[in-house]
Amino acid sequence: MATPTTGKHASTQAVATPPVSTPFSLSGHHPAFSPHGPRSVVPSPQQFKKSPANSNTLYGYPSGSGGGHPTSSSFGVGYDSPSAALALGSVPGLSELGLDGMVTPVPGPLGGGVRGDEDERKRRLQQVLDILKTNKGRLSEPGIERLARRVGLDCVWEDHMGSAGNTRTLIIAGSLMSLDIDFSNDVVKKVSLSFPESADIVTRHTQQAGDILLRDLQFSPNESPLTKMLDRFAANLERLATLDKLSVIPGLNCHEAIAGIYESLERLHKWETARLREQDDMAGKSDEYIERTAMCTKSGKPVMHTRDRLGLSIDYWQEKRRLTSIGSKRNIPKTWSLIVECSTLPDYGYTPLRVSEKWISPEILKADPEAEELMLAAVGGPVLGWLEPESTMLPTTEPHNPDAMEGLDRQPDGKFPEVMFVAKFDPPLIVPYGLAVQVHTATNAHMDIYQTSTFDGLLFPQGPNSKAEPGEARVVKQQTAVPIYRKGEKSIRTHNNTLFIDKVDYGQTLSELPFSHPRQLVEMLPQLRQYAFLSTVLKNSFGAQKGVSEEEKKSLRATRKEQFADFMSQVPVADAAALTVDVSLVTQPPSLKLVFPFKARTANIKFDIKPNGAVEVKEQNVLDESAMDEGKSLTIADLGRILEVTEDLGIWAEYVTELTR
């Protein structure tokens, strides 16, 4: 509604007046000059002339009063004032951005006002930022520069004058590191990583790290600048940036702290590998097999910059570890590792990191072990000579007070770094609740005691239509296709597997663990291997291969070419009758009881999973112990070793059945 201005200098200029129901409505019940008097949004002609915003441009925006539309405005229909338009929520464009709900009129004694809802605005902006963070960008010169600046590193471009191919270098620098990336016509040709002020234990690994970063930035045959993403490079660059930002100059080099742990554990691994070579059962074995045995049964294998990932990894388990030769460039075996990193020290109870490469004595063994340690060594192995390095101290910035009394108000020579070591489980490991408590207690780490998931629920998550109630005993059924090798021919047999969980046990997923000494990690490895092996056997037997019905197969065959390929890939079935396999699981201590039809009777075998993933047969009726001929027949120990090799209950059942024909 537009009302013409009245007065001595009457004008035909139309000014918008809000409706009566708005906070700007007039009231005749108060004196004109009282605090509660009427307030009109209509300015006087004198004020209008003096105002820098006239009818054509109000606050720098066109009011829309020209062209025969006196009441139209860029701030909303009928409002020449942005305040009035915002108060009534009529600003165009806010609804398209999803921000119109952020502006709400605020009633008050002055008749109204506008204030943005800051909490809601921050929440929505944070949601946008979280979405943008997941996208690391595509491979390009500006994309890499933006990524480096996003993680807090400095960038400088250096052009090479007179070089062919438009070559230039992006220098990404931190406080302790420098990364040079050479481009030629927007293609990465070379990557060089350096640590100018670091010790030799850090710089000796830079070539390997640079090769990984170069592979992250190279195009594969099926990639182009439109499809090549920076996700892998971003993950490695963020690891470098995190260590760089946590370091303090002078006094704390996080790159050197991690390299020091590697040096100590590498000496230990070499010593253990040399002792294994001296054993009779390792005669004739390859170096790869012996190193893998040390990795899976001793103190693990430390590796710097491996599997396209920068940093220190302590490998402690690997699938198919019993095979003489495993893996290839195309089929790399799955490896379980502890990834050592640094993190900010929280406010409660954790030990700051120490920078040292002397975590274990040069002789590896303890010089004068105590009687109790010797008794434990008879069961668990030699007594290692772990050392306790001195604490790393940072220079304090507080000035010394010469007037303070000696020994009372004396300031310390330095302060502890606010950084700690962290081990990340790769992949995360599912363990029973009791073992999770032991692991966290050994490292003085905080544990989430409110997690109430069961061990089998974490290992085999229930679907949305599951009828099992939480805390009740579960039954997991799965149909698998098991390969059979008979007389040099390969065939397939269907197994109907059923897993019974009689005793409900709660579990936890180990994903991250703070620690202060590498000894803490080494001592927990035997128990971690127990459940790494157990999860492998259960996943292979109940979660790896799911049976597909004929109707599902038909729906998946879209073309004649796919039908022909499926026909050519079929293998004759060795036995039309499917094999029924029942398995009972106990989590602490871990054991598996296997029942299946065997010849004219029912086989019943119980396996105990020991530390370091060793399998021991506790009960069995497959072999006749009285008729065993030593050296010519299968033994009970062989039954356990066969499961260690196959890592699959179905393959074990078929293999043992074939051997005992």
Q: Is 462:505 a contact under the CB 8 Å cutoff?
A: no
Q: Which residue has the higher pLDDT, 371 or 31?
A: 371
| Residue 60 confidence (pLDDT) | 41
209 pLDDT exceeds 60? yes
| Residue 471 confidence (pLDDT) | 58
Confidence bin at 332 (pLDDT 50/70/90)? confident
Tens of pLDDT, residues 579-589: 999 999 999 89
| Residue 368 confidence (pLDDT) | 80
| Residue 206 confidence (pLDDT) | 96
| Residue 470 confidence (pLDDT) | 58
In terms of average pLDDT, the best of 50-64, 317-331, 389-403, 441-455 is 441-455
Confidence bin at 603 (pLDDT 50/70/90)? very high
The pair of three-digit structure tokens given for residue 107, joined into one six-digit string: 């009633």
| Residue 251 confidence (pLDDT) | 87
Other Cβ atoms less than 10 A from the Cβ of 97: the count is 9
Range in 41-45, 132-136, 188-192, 601-605 with the lowest mean pLDDT = 41-45
d(CA 247, CA 21): 62
372 pLDDT exceeds 90? no
Q: What are phi and psi of 443, to 5 degrees?
A: -110, 5
For the chain, give the percent of residues with pLDDT over 90: 47
DSSP string for 284-296: T--HHHHHHHHHH
Contacts of 78 (CB under 8 A, 6+ apart): 1, 2, 16, 71, 72
Q: What is the pTM of this model?
A: 0.75
3-state helix, strand, coil in the chain (%, to 5): 30, 25, 45
361 pLDDT exceeds 90? yes
31 pLDDT exceeds 80? no
d(CA 420, CA 412): 21
d(CA 147, CA 172): 10
Tens of pLDDT, residues 408-440: 444 456 889 999 999 999 999 999 999 999 999
| Residue 239 confidence (pLDDT) | 96
551 pLDDT exceeds 80? no
Contacts of 88 (CB under 8 A, 6+ apart): 18, 22, 76, 79, 105
157 pLDDT exceeds 90? yes
Confidence bin at 558 (pLDDT 50/70/90)? very low
| Residue 472 confidence (pLDDT) | 66
Tens of pLDDT, residues 482-494: 888 776 677 888 9
The pair of three-digit structure tokens given for residue 436, joined into one six-digit string: 């999770």
Confidence bin at 398 (pLDDT 50/70/90)? low
Range in 277-291, 303-317, 423-437, 615-629 with the lowest mean pLDDT = 615-629
Q: Is 302:262 a contact under the CB 8 Å cutoff?
A: yes
E strand segments, 39-166? 57-58, 61-62, 103-105, 114-116, 154-159
Length of the chain in terms of residues written: 661
Mean pLDDT in residue range 55-69: 43
Confidence bin at 561 (pLDDT 50/70/90)? low
Q: Is 299:269 a contact under the CB 8 Å cutoff?
A: yes
| Residue 62 confidence (pLDDT) | 46
Confidence bin at 545 (pLDDT 50/70/90)? very low
In terms of average pLDDT, the best of 44-48, 55-59, 167-171, 375-379 is 167-171
Q: Which residue has the higher pLDDT, 408 or 462?
A: 462
252 pLDDT exceeds 60? yes
Q: Which residue has the higher pLDDT, 372 or 125?
A: 125
Q: Which residue has the higher pLDDT, 630 or 496?
A: 496
567 pLDDT exceeds 70? no
46 pLDDT exceeds 80? no
Q: Which residue has the higher pLDDT, 5 or 139?
A: 139
Range in 459-463, 543-547, 578-582, 619-623 with the lowest mean pLDDT = 543-547
What's the whole-number average pLDDT of the chain?
A: 78
203 pLDDT exceeds 50? yes
| Residue 653 confidence (pLDDT) | 92
Burial pattern 512-540, b for ≥16 Cβ within 10 A else e, equals ebbbbbbbbbbbbbbbbbbbbbbbbbbeb
In the Cβ-directed half-sphere of 594, how many Cα atoms lie within 13 Å?
A: 29
The alpha carbon of 179 is separated from its chain's Cα centroid by a whole number of angstroms, namely 24
630 pLDDT exceeds 80? no
Q: Tell me the C-alpha to C-alpha distance, in Å, between residue 297 and each of 400, 442, 513, 617.
A: 53, 20, 22, 19
Q: Tell me the C-alpha to C-alpha distance, in Å, between residue 502 and each of 267, 456, 583, 584, 589.
A: 45, 11, 11, 7, 14
Confidence bin at 134 (pLDDT 50/70/90)? confident
